[in-house]
Chain A
Amino acid sequence: MNVKVQRYDPDQDEKPHFQTYLVEVNEGARVLHVLHAIHDEIDPTLSYRWCCGSGQCGSCAVRVNGEPVLACMEEARDGMTVEPLKLPVKKDLIVDLEPALEALSHLEPGDKPAMPSKEEVELIKPLRSCIGCLACISVCPAMDVTSFAGPTAMRQNLRLALDPRDSKDRVTDAVTKGLFTCTSCQACWKVCPKDIQLPGKAIEKLRSLANKKGLTLPRHQEVAKLVRETGRSVTRTEPTFMEQVGEVIEPYGPVKATVGFFVGCMYNQRLPKTALDAMEVLRRNGIRVIIPKEQVCCGSPLIRTGQWDFLDTLKRRNIDAFAFRDIDTVLTMCAGCGSTLKNDYKTPFRVMDINELLTRYGIEPPARLPLKATYHDPCHLMRGQGIRDLPRELITQVVDLVEMPAICCGSGGGVRSGVPEEAAALAEKRREEIEKTGADIVISSCPFCEFHIMEHTDRPVKNVTTLLLEGYREKDKKKAEKAV
């Protein structure tokens, strides 16, 4: 098979370059075996790190076609590109792992340490399977712009905080190491070869322990207070979406499906216009929408920031609002709400993102607009719900799409309110990527991303459904012109 490998020898090369090799390996060979074949048969100077060859030591993590993987476990593919992790490169595929590994906290036993109970062991065990490959650290966007010890450092701190044998205050330590800088983008979890759910199981849990110690950021406390008092995580700036619509919105044509709409705080209070655009698109496409008015905040801002006491009330109110009306499918158009309902709730109904709904039932073709767009993948849609291609299917029916790397915009995880300078720095990096694409407009599918990116780019930022609606308006206009 043909493979492209990044080579770099600091003694000889000014900068890294790619080299292509043609190697023979056996069926089922892993990336590591391809590297062995290059080293043994073609070029012994190729340097790469490996030890156990069975996914247990974390020595051999590399990027294959851009994605961090363990070379020993990932099946080799013809035409693949192998690069080092995005960490300081020592030579070829070898990166410097030592600083981050050495910075991990270690257990310091107290005088009379008590053994953990079975329950505690079960809590700690999932955090112990880390093999220190540092794939998580190599993809963490927060670490690029702010002082953050990184996902696996947080994992280790929680592991120690949960262990009765440890004598130190790991929660306060985690806060000083940047606990509140994580945007919960989940990039770390998605690349973890051991599938450790770092934001959900480590960082949010540590934040909840920090909450018990009174270490929650003041801005996050304000949000929690607002939710408790108003049922909403943001204040209103204009008439809300729910004030502008009735409880049922009927489609123009025959009903293809009926869904309950979970509006979410941002679309209800801050971006009602976008939600109204979405309703118009649904009306044109045969979707009947029921909007229970007693619905409240999904609780995501509280979950992400570790403020968990009020959650059960919110969850019950929301589930009841839809279950009472016998709704079997609940629609979300906020990526954050959708991810929360899907992953943090146990719902008696199915939850569908609007991109899923529209592609499932099919849409009336819109007219094309003479624009070049780029799409920003919302973390809570792409990683939280695994929805990557569906919005692209919709967007490309209206405009040409230019891709950019999928990186967090900085608005999630309470970072926009809690650590605004970090959120701004991440959005600034988005702006740079947007400019590189040369796109006329930016499309996304999450109110937090849309609102945040809008502040950092001079290009219009629009929701997928708004773009579709503009396609429909163009279509109507052309039709009207023809009629004249």
Chain B
Amino acid sequence: MYVYDPPYNKMRSAEVLDCHVLVVGSGGAGVRAAIEASGYGETILVSKTLTGKGGCTTMAEGGYNAVLREQDSCEIHFEDTMKGGAYLNDPELVHILVDEAPKRIGDLLHWGAVFDVTDCCEVAQRPFGGQRFPRTCYAGDRTGHEMMATLVERLAGADVDVMNEVTVLDLLKDGDRVIGAVGLNERSELVAVRADSTVLATGGGTRMYDISTNSSSGTGDGFAIGYRAGAELIDMEMVQFHPTGAVYPYDARGRLITEAVRGEGGILKNSLGERFMSRYDPERMELSTRDVVSRAIATEILEGRCTPHGGVYLDVTHLPRQQIEEKLPVMLEQFLKFGVDIRDEPMEVAPTAHHMMGGLRITRNGETTIPGLFACGEVTGGVHGANRLGGNALADTQVFGKRAGEAAGKAGKKTGRIDQGAMDAQETRLSAFFEGEVPPSTVARSLRTAMWEGAGIFRTAKGLEKTLGVITHLSSLPLKAAGQSNLAECCILQNMLITASLVVRGALIRKESRGAHVRKDVTQAWDPQTSPYGHSYQSLTRSGIETVVKA
């Protein structure tokens, strides 16, 4: 094994590994991709956390959408998804999602997943927002955890080298082609992996917002890493605000309250006791799509009809206690810890930044716009359009995780050489942090506030410009690493800043309200189906918005 000797900092040395497929990310999509890729050659999975613990899949509570019953059909799932996504979705990707979601849940069941079942031994399904059939499969309200447990078990049985607690800093390239990645291990040593194919499965990034459901790893690394490597990203302005995040305790604000609460029959009320959804979507009420419910709640709060902690009430006290205990055990346990028994008292909730619908542009096989780089899961764009249906993200991780892993595995052997200059550049980048002045935590706090204020649920060009100004300023500050263990934090913060700027720029580019993206300063004469706009796109070399020629 070649050991790289860095010129700048003799404290660190880079370990260089070699494999066929490198998967970056250890959530549902990454692990699924690695399992699939391992059938084609040596596979390395790099995780910023401990595999199975990081990412947002393990936190996903509500469920996994799949057409499993005769009364349901993939065509209806397709229509629901397109309509929910305000027709910005890539139809080809949606077809694949709905067609293959049942097969992929089949894989999980084959590998030992323990979903709730009906008396007839079929996987049980519950209703979720924006869907005309109850097609959300679940394991109580710990569905994602069940999936991750299953995937991690399967991964243990697969021939995959797992590198835990390694933070990927950048992709490595040979010419136009991605040939692996360079990262920092837990001891802050550089690690380089050369790979024939690389799969980015780094998940989302809504931790750039003050209030977010995301885990510590939701820092948008993949968007930034892909962007820096030259990949094109689409629809980055499309950020889903989940309607129901916790508002108390303050330091844990944003914590996800699953849509399953409403799926099981939970109702929303304002401080006047009004079931206000009747004013916003009288037909679907609480089970409207997330963009609609979030805006409704935000409006109630803005207009002063809010609870003592600044939210609205989400109430399940009318449901049988046993149903709450069996179907929502995690919610019950979490709220009990915070002093609220949801069997007897309503929850207080408010919208929270949740999911990135936009991301790297991919083909049906997860190929990005640069050779050698594949992507799957939340880091990609196009599947969910302008608003994701609850239950479609878990399905996305499995369907496109498998596809990207398979395509990366099937891609041929490539010879690529790690460029000494690129490694030296990383060394220089890291060394500079020891000379920096501003702690990353300070910058992160400013970023989160600016994003929440200027690029939140309701947006205007003025607010977006202001936030972009803040991001530009923050990006110019010399970040300071107080010790070796802070180097990764500095790099991650730079990723957050880039991803945030992509969101804001996308929001400025898209001069319409659509799905989760609302421009209060734009009046438009079209609805989503007749919108003249397609994907917004951004890369190092171009940015803009596609215009649609309607037939």
Contact = CB atoms under 8 A, between A and B. Distances in A.
B249 A52 contact: no
A121 interface: yes
A55 B215 CA distance: 11
Interface string A225-248: 000000000000000000000000
Contacts of B330: 55-56
Contact of A132 (B53, B250, B252, B483): B53
B263 interface: no
Interface string A70-108: 001100000000000000001100000110011010111
Interface string B332-344: 0110011100000
Contact of A43 (B249, B337, B482): B482
A130 to B, nearest CB: 8
A163 B153 CA distance: 14
A56 B58 contact: yes
A51 B53 contact: yes
Contacts of A59: 49-50, 53-54
B215 A52 contact: yes
A27 interface: yes
Contacts of A53: 215-216, 252, 255
B441 interface: yes
B487 to A, nearest CB: 11
Contacts of B251: 25-26, 28-30, 33, 36
Interface string B289-314: 00000000000000000000000000
A26 B248 CA distance: 10
Interface centre among B50, B116, B255 (most CB of A within 10 A): B50
Given A44-B483, A115-B109, A124-B114, A51 B54 contact: yes
A466 B62 CA distance: 57
B441 A40 contact: yes
B483 A45 contact: yes
A128 B249 contact: no
B139 interface: yes
Contacts of B16: none
B485 A107 contact: no
A121 B249 CA distance: 35
A163 B112 contact: yes
Interface residues of A, number: 56
A98 B164 contact: yes
A129 B144 CA distance: 11
A54 B54 contact: no
B156 A106 contact: yes
A117 B123 CA distance: 10
Contacts of B142: 56, 129
Given A55-B333, A109-B112, A118 B58 contact: no
A102 B156 contact: yes
Interface string A31-70: 0010010011101110101111111111100000000000
Given A29-B249, A57-B59, A98-B50, A121 B114 contact: yes
Interface of A: 25-30, 33, 36, 39-41, 43-45, 47, 49-59, 72-73, 90-91, 97-98, 101-102, 104, 106-109, 113, 115-118, 121, 124-125, 128-132, 160, 163, 165-166
9 contacts: A28-B338, A40-B445, A44-B441, A45-B483, A53-B215, A57-B215, A98-B164, A107-B112, A163-B112
Contacts of B337: 55, 73
A108 B59 contact: no
Given A30-B251, A45-B483, A128-B139, 20 more contacts: A27-B250, A40-B439, A44-B441, A44-B482, A44-B483, A44-B486, A51-B216, A52-B53, A52-B216, A53-B216, A55-B334, A56-B145, A57-B58, A59-B53, A102-B156, A109-B111, A115-B109, A116-B114, A118-B117, A166-B112
List the 5 closest pairs (A to B, CB-CB), nearest first: A28-B249, A107-B112, A40-B441, A106-B153, A33-B251
Output the residue of B55, B329, B439, B485 with the most chain A CB within 10 A: B485
B154 interface: yes
Nearest to B309: A28
Interface in B261-302: none
B121 interface: yes
Contacts of B52: 57, 101, 132
Interface in B231-264: 248-252, 255-256
Given A102-B156, A108-B157, A121-B114, A54 B49 contact: no
B215 A128 contact: no
Interface in B97-150: 109-112, 114-119, 121, 139-140, 142, 145-146, 149-150
B439 A44 contact: yes
B351 to A, nearest CB: 17
B161 interface: no
